[in-house]
Amino acid sequence: MESAERCRHVPVRLEHRIPRGAPDGTFLGKVADVGHQTPGRLPGTIVLRTQLEADAHYSLVGSDLYTVLSLTLEEAMFGFKKSWIHLDDETEIKLESTTPSQPGQVLKLAKKGMFDSNTKKSGHMYVRLDIVLQKPTSDSLTVSKPAKDNTAAALRAEAKVEWQDGGAYRLWSEMMNAQSVGKDGKKKTEQE
């Protein structure tokens, strides 16, 4: 049986200013009489809060950004130039090294993190270097200086960064995919 009372279905456009650096869950305000309406009741009040969206290239802890930059063996040995556009779609981030880089090395880019509305300062960006090794196609390997035109950065978000005891910690997710080694020091196969 259809209700004798009619509920309004009226699209409402809400515009609200989100403060720069607003953390997840920041209360933005309330808008009365635009919420869900049910028979016998007036439309409710909508509460507006921020909800941060996950990003494929960065992890956010506090106001600091964490990312992983993939490099080839050649780039790690001979140096590299990499650049990418920051989250604001305007600022170009540039990284350059003329010396060998180590796997897991972390570079700190001061004030390239997110703006903190409480301290009125920008956080930092931490870039961990990941050396990606290619499978050799023969018994020998020749390593040459990389081409200078490959400046596009391959970034991915740092896995599970947490803030504990006044510092940032990364869950060692590589442990989950660790390959077993036998008593003889050789890698075990899947069947062993």
Tokens of 92: 């170009």
- Which pLDDT does position 16 carry in this prediction? 85
Quick one: pLDDT band at residue 30, thresholds 50, 70, 90? very high
Q: Which of the pair, 170 or 5, is modelled with greater confidence?
A: 170
Q: Is the pLDDT confidence value at 95 over 50?
A: yes
Mean pLDDT of 22-48: 85
Q: Is the pLDDT confidence value at 93 over 80?
A: yes
Distance CA 65, CA 84 (A): 14
How far, in Å, are 24, 79, 154, 159, 170 from residue 67 at the CA level? 19, 19, 10, 9, 11
User: Which structural domain range is residue 137 located in?
Assistant: 59-159
Distance CA 167, CA 186 (A): 37
Mean pLDDT of 170-182: 63
Please, what is the average pLDDT of the chain?
84
Quick one: pLDDT band at residue 1, thresholds 50, 70, 90? very low
Domain count, the chain: 2
- Which pLDDT does position 179 carry in this prediction? 62
How far, in Å, are 73, 77, 131, 177, 181 from residue 102 at the CA level? 10, 9, 8, 21, 24
How far, in Å, are 1, 29, 76, 178, 188 from residue 135 at the CA level? 69, 55, 16, 18, 19
Mean pLDDT of 33-47: 81
- Which pLDDT does position 47 carry in this prediction? 92
Look up the CATH number of the domain holding residue 121.
2.60.260.20
Domain contains 170: no
- Is 33 in the same domain as 76? no
Domain contains 35: yes
pLDDT per residue as tens digits for the range 41-68: 788 888 999 998 999 999 998 899 999 9
Q: Is the pLDDT confidence value at 102 over 70?
A: yes
- Is 63 in the same domain as 113? yes
Distance CA 124, CA 93 (A): 12
Distance CA 119, CA 63 (A): 10
Domain contains 97: yes
Mean pLDDT of 150-167: 84
- Is 41 in the same domain as 63? no
- Is 37 in the same domain as 64? no
- Is 101 in the same domain as 151? yes
**69 contact partners, CB below 8 Å, separation of at least 6:** 82, 95, 127, 128, 129, 130, 153, 154, 155
- Is 30 in the same domain as 95? no
Least confident among 25-34, 85-94, 168-177: 168-177
pTM of the model: 0.77
